[in-house]
Structure 1
């Protein structure tokens, strides 16, 4: 019988720059994925780092994201996603959304929500 590795936090909240996004690898039920993790004050949001338009990563350099006027911009085709819900509001995939990954914060650590 296989045993699952022990759960561990993705990172500490204090390690995330406020108002910026970072890339983190995480083991999800479907396998390992690269995540966009965005901090706003004491809150965090995360999405799979894949643009729904062409299936490419959104970062312009490894782990570096362009955020402007409340939108996360795909470096490949310029699609703009709202940072509050991941919905595309401009560009070739308007109306589509990034795939959200639920997170929680406990004792200053950022965790994936199980399930």
Structure 2
């Protein structure tokens, strides 16, 4: 597992982008749970954010692709609206402990 960030850096309802071992990821905290996905839209393979660390829609309840407007559920990465509806973001294995948030970038599908 690779260290991603301090737990306090990822606040509720916010997102952060990271580059870990040449893998671009985004992390979101929702209802206290951390979710990490590859920062890549399944439609065209483009990064999702519209500016640094801005991956969420206006309500902060969905991940939104800035290029196509596709909307993804935070809890499982499933696209619920847009050109890639029915596809999903690629989840990255993650864990949180007293030292911070960790990911396993090698666990790729």
Q: TM-score range by the shorter chain?
A: 0.7 to 0.9
Matches of 2:25 and 2:60 in 1, distance apart? 21
Structure 1 residue 41: deviation in Å?
Answer: 4.3
Asked if 1:80 corresponds to 2:71, the answer is yes
* Off by >6 Å, runs of 4+ in structure 1: none
Asked if 1:97 corresponds to 2:88, the answer is yes
Number of aligned residue pairs = 105
Matches of 2:6 and 2:32 in 1, distance apart? 11
C-alpha deviations, 1:80-115, integer Å up to 9, x for none?
000110000000000000000011011141011475
In the alignment, what sits opposite 2:25? 35
In the alignment, what sits opposite 1:19? 13
C-alpha deviations, 1:18-42, integer Å up to 9, x for none?
1111101112xxxx21111001243
TM normalised by structure 1 equals: 0.82
Larger RCO of the pair (alpha carbons < 8 Å, separation 6+): 2
Unaligned residue ranges in structure 2 (runs of 5+) = none
RMSD: 1.8
TM normalised by structure 2 equals: 0.86
Q: Which structure has the greater CA radius of gyration? A: 1
